[in-house]
Amino acid sequence: MSDYIKYSYDLEEIPENFDQYIAKINKDIVDYIRNTPEISKISHHTRDAHANGYAVLKAEVEILGNLAPELAQGIYAKPGIYEAVVRFSNGSSRVLPDKLSGNAQGFALKIFGIEGKKLAPGEEDSPNVDFNLINNPVFFCNTAEHYVFISKLFLTINDFFERGALGKLEFSALWVTENKKAFPNFEALKELGALKTFEKIPSINSFLYEFYSMGAVRHGDYIAKVRIVPTEQTKNAITEKDVDIESEDWPYRKAIIKEIAKNELTFELQIQLCKDLKKMPINDLTEEWPQELSPFRTVAKITIPKQKVPENGNFEVMENLSFTPFRTIEENSPIGNLQRSRQSAYVTSSTTRHDLNHKKRKEPKNISEAFDSEFYKL
């Protein structure tokens, strides 16, 4: 246990002008969400990322007992069984057919009834804890400063990629020069390289992906990353493992609905503890932490029971819900430069979206409230 790096705020490297970058990011989020109906040619306002939800499913989370002391930290310190919901989504900022959206996907988990003061602004008394994970072990941005220009490019990525090789070349040139405001630099090149790893994600059933926290989190006294993986039983239960993204507009959603109608599926929530700040950096999200140095270890089990889901994947429920990684307690909070920017960004996104869609932004206390459309009416 002494090998694990102890958490200290000084390790996070938050710059003095951090709030200025956050203000710019939040403004861009609001401006984008206001225009999402026109951008995606739809009738509602979407999230600025993971705009297209595939399905939201009822679930259960069991935090395991008899964990090693270094694992039994924060919300994992006490065993228990909790109601939960899971939202599967495409990572794109636009609602597009799967063949145009890429294979980056999200696994958003909301666990109901976790006690403790939460960090999401204005939601200190929230009864829930959220996880926002992606199906790639690295991310394409390290700092709030870089996200100011990267987010603008990310929101228009489809415009560039639709133009083929020349469009991709122009996109890359703008990325490494910070939108023509700087000479190419090593950090921007690393971030662009991380973005390109998303192109290697295979087209498989969403239940078969491994999902990772975007960056590091505090794990009580320690530092960690989070992963959710399908169990062997789930891998064996999935009948259609590959997804043909050319077959129809949203084959991922269809595959999710088809599989969960036939089988209960289980997953493991795992923690990877930091042992070496050079090989397992907090503030470099483009670096995958080596599992040979510190393996992922299971702290909780997620069960998604067999259930009937409508063709739209429970669309209204998906749009009513919000997920933020800072809807958690201090002992399990995201840490690091870019991670800290998410604290207000997610609330800004959700508040703007709910206001424009004329819905009450309100946290349900259980599955029943989450699936009750009356609960969110103004």
User: Could you count the other beta carbons within 10 Å of the beta carbon of residue 165?
Assistant: 8
In 3D space, the residue among 326, 299, 307 whose CA is nearest the CA of residue 367 turns out to be: 307
Instruction: Please state, in angstroms and as integers, the Cα–Cα distance from residue 289 to each residue in 143, 205, 295, 324, 327, following that order.
Output: 18, 25, 9, 23, 25
Joined tokens for residue 41: 């040619």
Please, what sign has the CA dihedral across residues 196, 334, 206, 93?
negative
Q: Report which DSSP code applies to 372.
A: -
Please, what sign has the CA dihedral across residues 107, 110, 111, 114?
positive
Q: Are 370 and 364 in contact (CB under 8 A)?
A: yes
Distance separating the N- and C-terminal Cα atoms of the chain: 50
Q: What is the mean pLDDT of the chain?
A: 96
Identify the structural domains of the chain with CATH numbers, from first to last. 9-376 (2.40.180.10)
Q: Are 328 and 335 in contact (CB under 8 A)?
A: no
pLDDT at 208 over 70: yes
Q: Look at strands 80-90 and 222-230 and give their pairing.
A: unpaired
pLDDT of residue 207: 99
pLDDT of residue 359: 96
pLDDT digits (tens, 9 = 90+) for 295-352: 999 999 999 999 999 999 999 999 999 999 999 999 999 999 999 999 999 999 999 9
pLDDT at 2 over 90: no
pLDDT of residue 184: 85
Q: How far is CA 233 from the centre of its chain?
A: 24
Q: How far is CA 213 from the centre of its chain?
A: 7
Q: Are 373 and 320 in contact (CB under 8 A)?
A: yes
pLDDT of residue 181: 86
Please, what sign has the CA dihedral across residues 174, 175, 179, 181?
negative
pLDDT digits (tens, 9 = 90+) for 118-176: 999 999 999 999 999 999 999 999 999 999 999 989 888 989 988 999 999 999 999 99
Give the residue carrying structure tokens 């309100």: 362
Give CA–CA dist 185/171, Å, rounded.
Answer: 15
Give the residue carrying structure tokens 């390109």: 196
